[in-house]
Amino acid sequence: MVAKVNTELLDKAIAEIDRQRLVKLVMDLVDIPSPTGYEGEVARAVHDVLQEANFDAVLQPIGDERYNAVGRWQGQGGGKSLMFNGHLDTSFGPEQAHRGLGYQCKATLVDDEWIYGMGSFNMKSAMATYIVACEAIQKAGIRLKGDVVIAAVAGEIEKSPVNEHEGPQYQGYGVGTKYAITHGAIADMCILGEPTNMMVINQHCGSCWVKITVPGHLIHTAWSEVDKNAINKSRKVLDAIHEWIPDYCARNQLADGFMPRVNVSAVEAGWSWRGARTPDNCIIYMDVRTLPDNLPLQAYNDVRRMIANLVADNPELEGTKVETFMTTPGTSLPRDHELVENIHRAHSDQLGKPPQMGTEVWMSDAAHMNRYGIPTVNYGSAGRIRTGGGGFSTHQGEAVHIGDMLDIIRVYIQCIMQICGVVDD
Query: Is residue 241 a contact partner of residue 210, using CB atoms and an 8 Å limit?
Result: no
Record the pTM. Answer: 0.95
pLDDT in tens, 160-191: 999 999 999 999 999 999 999 999 999 999 99
Query: Is residue 254 a contact partner of residue 269, using CB atoms and an 8 Å limit?
Result: no
Q: Which residues of 193-203 are buried (b: 16+ CB within 10 A; e: fewer)?
A: bbbbbbbbbbb
Q: Is residue 153 part of a domain?
A: yes
Q: Which of 270, 305, 328 is the C-terminal boundary of a domain?
A: 328
Sequence-distant (6+) residues with CB within 8 A of 148 are: 72, 73, 75, 81, 82, 83, 84, 134, 416, 420
Q: Which of 328, 363, 386 is the C-terminal boundary of a domain?
A: 328
Domain count, the chain: 2
Number of H helices, E strands in the chain: 10, 18
Q: Please report the pLDDT score of residue 224 as a whole number.
A: 85
Cα gap 127→179, rounded to integer Å = 19
Range of the domain at 316: 206-328
Query: Residue 282 maps to which CATH number?
Result: 3.30.70.360
Maximum distance among all alpha carbons in the chain? 89
Question: Cis ω on the peptide bond leading into residue 123 (within 30° of 0)?
Answer: yes
Query: Is residue 216 a contact partner of residue 229, using CB atoms and an 8 Å limit?
Result: yes
Give the CB-side neighbour count of residue 351, counting CA atoms within 13 A: 24
Cα gap 168→158, rounded to integer Å = 13
Q: What is the mean pLDDT of residues 289-316?
A: 97
Q: What is the CA radius of gyration of the chain?
A: 24
Is residue 288 located within the same domain as residue 251?
A: yes
Query: Is residue 308 a contact partner of residue 302, using CB atoms and an 8 Å limit?
Result: no
Query: Is residue 283 a contact partner of residue 323, using CB atoms and an 8 Å limit?
Result: no
Is residue 15 located within the same domain as residue 102?
A: yes
Is residue 127 located within the same domain as residue 193?
A: yes
Is residue 315 located within the same domain as residue 378?
A: no
pLDDT in tens, 334-391: 999 999 999 999 999 999 999 999 999 999 999 999 999 999 999 999 999 999 999 9
Q: Please report the pLDDT score of residue 227 as a whole number.
A: 87
Is residue 281 located within the same domain as residue 346?
A: no
Cα gap 261→259, rounded to integer Å = 7
Is residue 221 located within the same domain as residue 91?
A: no
Is residue 12 located within the same domain as residue 47?
A: yes
Q: Is residue 425 part of a domain?
A: no
Q: How confident is the model at residue 398 (pLDDT cuts 50, 70, 90)?
A: very high
Cα gap 101→186, rounded to integer Å = 37
Strand partners for 108: 116
pLDDT in tens, 51-110: 999 999 999 999 989 999 999 999 999 999 999 999 999 998 777 767 889 999 999 999
Q: How confident is the model at residue 425 (pLDDT cuts 50, 70, 90)?
A: low
Q: Which residues of 132-148 are buried (b: 16+ CB within 10 A; e: fewer)?
A: bbbbbbbebebebbbbb
Q: Is residue 387 part of a domain?
A: yes
Is residue 195 located within the same domain as residue 285?
A: no
Is residue 274 located within the same domain as residue 218?
A: yes
Q: Which of 3, 1, 9, 343 is nearest to 143 (CA)?
A: 9
Q: Please report the pLDDT score of residue 99 as a whole number.
A: 84
C-alpha 107 chain-centroid distance: 21
